[in-house]
Structure 1
Amino acid sequence: MTTPADRRYGWLLLLRTPGLGAAALRRQLQLDGSVEQALQTITARATGEAGQWLRHPDPALLGADLAWLAEPGHHLLCWGEPDYPPQLLHLDDAPAALFVAGDPSLLLRPQIAVVGARGASAAGRGHARRFAAELARRGFVVTSGLAEGIDGEAHLAALDAGGASLAVIGTGADRVYPASHHALARRLAETGAVVSELVPGTPARPWHFPRRNRLIAGLSLATVVIEAGLQSGSLITARLAAEQGREVFALPGSIDHPLARGCHRLIREGARLVEAPEEVAEAMAGPAAAMGTVLLERLAIETPAVVAGDRVAVGEGWRADPEYVDLLHALGHDPTPLEALVERTGQPVSAVSSMLLMLELEGLVESLSGARYQRLED
């Protein structure tokens, strides 16, 4: 019988195979139905450098990958598995897997991207803090790219407001770029999440960041652009968001300010002019609620019961499932870390995260900073 550890090794082996792109790997997974079978098929057909790697992989490299994944709070979300973010499934170039340091359930929650110039003005940084803090207070996960300037301010403001923030990065999840954001990256891994499609050890390369931007746009319900020059990477994020059918908001600025020109272009091309974070939150309340409904349907388990305190009463849907009963018993009214709940229930982190999201949407559980959860019902 194949174990989760075997599947994880197979995934890492395939993710590191030279020349094997995410699209080809996804197609083979669809044909074969499992990573184990896909690995056999690809290995049998592989030639050249790919064949050499698959038949004689580097045990030290794969061992380092497994050691990274074994650390608390580190996860691998694989295409076709329950904890893979459904928002990305429609992308033609969806990643085959995501490496996550932090709380993986944040990827399943309504997100708003806040992006902008690295060399932002003091006013632009202030706008980023104001928008991110208010969006976080209203329950949105603030998503950005960990860059200097607007990105960094948005992450910090969301965390300082007691909300959640998620960084999608252009290096392996074990690296930090820019180096000045080491402390911020640690804080995000502890109280939010850091996400990468790149294998551990991957350094920063210029072409990684436009690809990173498609994931920021794809994960988020909307993108807010705060200060951007005409050559800004934020315009790439905004274009990708629009192509994916997502809402784009842009802050206007002075006609004399070069970092306002990108935003003005976006507004001319159809982005919504926005002046206050409340406008974004109110506009996205409906899509956020719809996303919650979709996730409820996606995660629902049809069995007969509801937990009320220490009693199990007759009910409908997922509420009868004994795994939910066990999870609610494992939760106290004091904040409990995700890792502790995984240990207490004996369930994999993907299953616990999904159940917690269900309970949160039902108003029975509250998520707190630092991947902690608290039971609300008596």
Structure 2
Amino acid sequence: MSTASLRSWLALRAVRGLDDATVCRLVQTFGSPEAVQAASIDSLMASGCISASLAQAIRRGPDDHTQQGLDRDLKTLERLQLSVVTCLDPDYPPRLKMIHDPPPLLYVSGALTQADRHAVAIVGARRATAAGRLLTEELSRDLASAGFTIVSGLARGVDAAAHRGALAAQGRTVAVLGCGIDQTYPPEHQSLRKEIESNGAVVAELPLGSYPHGYHFPRRNRIISGMCLGVVVTEAAIQSGSLITARLAADQGREVFAVPGFVKADNSRGPNGLIKQGAKLVETVEDIIDELLPQLDAPFRERLKGRVPHPVESPPQLGKAEATIYLALSFEPTHIDDLITNSRLPAADVAAHLLALELKHLVRQLPGQTYLRL
């Protein structure tokens, strides 16, 4: 996109009172933002989209202060080598274009591709349990291995696990930010963001420099759900923002999936509630794929039907002491002191066997000397 064309997009979006849906309708009606800006007040009003005052604001164009801000933004985009995809571009996510209020433009680092039309969102609690993160990674990895792009919000907890699962499968993943594209939130996910940019895209609708205010995220969530065939909620409390994403997905006609959990656990109340309301219960990736198959294009559907399901893994061949420790573990974190007590083995032996099990990718060590069975 040329600098002049991008300036026209940014200038049109900067008109106070002009919402996203109206911007998209105007450029689709007139063919380009330049044509919108050049149209007469009568033509703008005849489009049925806007009032006389908004038509006059479009004709006036940005004031000097706004123009200076646009100049700075254009220089920043060039300096950071960021791209912009508009609702008229072929690379704009096709499903996102169909929602009620699609963003007129998306700032992008990395790249959106045609493969992203087969996208599934995985969202959930920021304070996810170790078991929740592990299951999220597993679902994400299996979906990415099957060819789906994983979309999430780069947040702590479930979102980060979803991105990491896709990256572990060398698949595509997209992070949708609730701040400007020139910022990373949370800041400790800067390295994760770089990995995502190399294997997918980071996108944002907010102007450059926008701070990650809490009120940005509920609106951001419509993009996460809008890009996708469906939304999976793995863990979420009753007040979790991921339930907003699930509600938006249902409103947009997308599939909603939820992973059930222990009825007394706070992080299970959200998914369990969604299941009560009709969300598809998920135990394995096959539950998601089977539900989405009718919506997929024929070549992708045939590819999925022809894939070999994960074989049922036979119990690992372990020595007696290793087997004792392995069986004492579960999918909930277990402290090493409890393993020593339950196995009745010397502490040094338990530590050595745990290391051996880690090397065999059968257990994972977590902070605080706790361990989880894989």
TM-score computed with the length of structure 1 as normaliser: 0.71
Larger radius of gyration: 2
Q: Which amino acid aligns with 1:11?
A: W
With over 3 angstroms needed to count, the CA separation of the structure-2 counterparts of 1:108 and 1:57, relative to structure 1, is farther
Number of the residue aligned with 1:257: 265
- 1:124-203 → structure 2 map (5 Å cutoff): 124-203=132-211
- 1:283-302 → structure 2 map (5 Å cutoff): 283-289=291-297
Aligned to 2:243, which of 214, 235, 241? 235
Asked if structure 2 preserves the Cα contact closer than 8 Å seen for 1:12 and 1:65, the reply is no
With over 3 angstroms needed to count, the CA separation of the structure-2 counterparts of 1:113 and 1:73, relative to structure 1, is farther
Give the Å deviation of 1:98.
1.0
Asked if structure 2 preserves the Cα contact closer than 8 Å seen for 1:106 and 1:193, the reply is no
With over 3 angstroms needed to count, the CA separation of the structure-2 counterparts of 1:50 and 1:208, relative to structure 1, is farther
Aligned to 1:11, which of 9, 12, 19? 9
Output the CA distance in 2 between the equivalents of 1:226 and 1:291: 29
With over 3 angstroms needed to count, the CA separation of the structure-2 counterparts of 1:37 and 1:49, relative to structure 1, is closer
Output the CA distance in 2 between the equivalents of 1:169 and 1:71: 20
With over 3 angstroms needed to count, the CA separation of the structure-2 counterparts of 1:76 and 1:42, relative to structure 1, is farther
Number of the residue aligned with 1:209: 217
RMSD of Structure 2 on Structure 1 (CA): 2.6
Number of the residue aligned with 2:27: 29
Output the CA distance in 1 between the equivalents of 2:158 and 2:40: 43
Asked if structure 1 preserves the Cα contact closer than 8 Å seen for 2:150 and 2:166, the reply is yes
Aligned to 1:75, which of 63, 74, 83? 83
Output the CA distance in 1 between the equivalents of 2:35 and 2:210: 27
Deviation sequence 1:116-149 (CA, Å, 0-9, x none)? 1000011101111111111111110000011110
Output the CA distance in 1 between the equivalents of 2:27 and 2:77: 22
The one of the two structures with greater contact order (alpha-carbon pairs below 8 A, sep at least 6) is 1
Number of the residue aligned with 1:66: 74
Deviation sequence 1:183-235 (CA, Å, 0-9, x none)? 11222122210111111111111121111111111111011110111111111
Output the CA distance in 2 between the equivalents of 1:134 and 1:292: 16
Q: Which amino acid aligns with 1:149?
A: G
With over 3 angstroms needed to count, the CA separation of the structure-2 counterparts of 1:243 and 1:127, relative to structure 1, is same
Output the CA distance in 1 between the equivalents of 2:268 and 2:128: 10
Output the CA distance in 2 between the equivalents of 1:127 and 1:257: 16
Q: Which amino acid aligns with 1:84?
A: Y
Give the Å deviation of 1:42.
8.5
Deviation sequence 1:66-124 (CA, Å, 0-9, x none)? 23433576221112232222212221111111111111216743001111100001110
Give the Å deviation of 1:57.
4.7
Deviates more, 1:240-249 or 1:79-88: 79-88
Output the CA distance in 1 between the equivalents of 2:119 and 2:64: 41
What stretches of structure 1 of length at least 5 have no aligned partner?
A: 294-378
Output the CA distance in 1 between the equivalents of 2:99 and 2:77: 26
Output the CA distance in 1 between the equivalents of 2:157 and 2:129: 8
Output the CA distance in 2 between the equivalents of 1:91 and 1:107: 20
Counterpart secondary structure, 1:181: helix
What stretches of structure 2 of length at least 5 have no aligned partner?
A: 45-52, 302-374
TM-score computed with the length of structure 2 as normaliser: 0.71
Counterpart secondary structure, 1:201: coil
Asked if structure 1 preserves the Cα contact closer than 8 Å seen for 2:106 and 2:204, the reply is yes
Deviates more, 1:129-138 or 1:23-32: 23-32
Output the CA distance in 2 between the equivalents of 1:106 and 1:158: 17
| Count of aligned residue pairs for this structure pair | 291
With over 3 angstroms needed to count, the CA separation of the structure-2 counterparts of 1:106 and 1:212, relative to structure 1, is farther
With over 3 angstroms needed to count, the CA separation of the structure-2 counterparts of 1:34 and 1:53, relative to structure 1, is closer
